[in-house]
Amino acid sequence: MDDLHEEIFHAFGRHEEHLYSFYLPQPEARGRDRLRDAEEYSHPMAATGSGLDDDIGGGDARKARLQSLRLRAGQRFEYLFDFGDSWWHDILVEEVRPAGGDSSFLGVVEKRGRAPRQYPEELDE
């Protein structure tokens, strides 16, 4: 999951690291409460047992492997980057390939429009 974070981080042209979490809600979950019981995988410094407040995050994203999450095509999950500015992303699983072969591909397959600046108040250089 940490590698997926890195792909998104670079796709959006971000330059300053922050804490992040991925949320995998239950398929039947709806509305504002859908993230309450979702599986959560967080930046290593925010993961439970990291020495920070244990209520901040869930499992360590460095240790979570995509193949162990049993993702399926068409599934959506959410990614929160920067707990202060709260950049939310909706992730859609396009395809799941079995291990082996060219299964090493991980990345953003489509971007729409221009990515917003990490800090909107930044002036153009």
pLDDT category at 33 given cuts 50, 70, 90 is confident
Residue 110 lies in a domain: no
Q: Give the rounded distance of the alpha carbon of 101 from its chain centre.
A: 25
User: Is there a contact between 106 and 95 (Cβ–Cβ < 8 Å)?
Assistant: no
Question: Does the structure show a pLDDT above 60 at 124?
Answer: no
Examine residue 49 and state whether it is found in any structural domain, yes or no.
Answer: yes
Q: What is the mean pLDDT of residues 7-17?
A: 90
CA-closest candidate to residue 27, choices 76, 66, 65? 76
User: Which of the four pLDDT bands, split at 50, 70 and 90, describes residue 68?
Assistant: confident
Residue 56 sits in which domain range? 2-92
What integer pLDDT is reported at residue 22 of this predicted model?
A: 95
pTM score of the predicted model = 0.78
Phi, psi of 78, deg, nearest 5: -120, 150
* CATH number (domain holding residue 32): 3.10.290.30
pLDDT, residue 30, reads: 84
In this prediction, residue 47 carries a pLDDT of 73
Residue 105 lies in a domain: no
What is the count of structural domains for the chain?
1
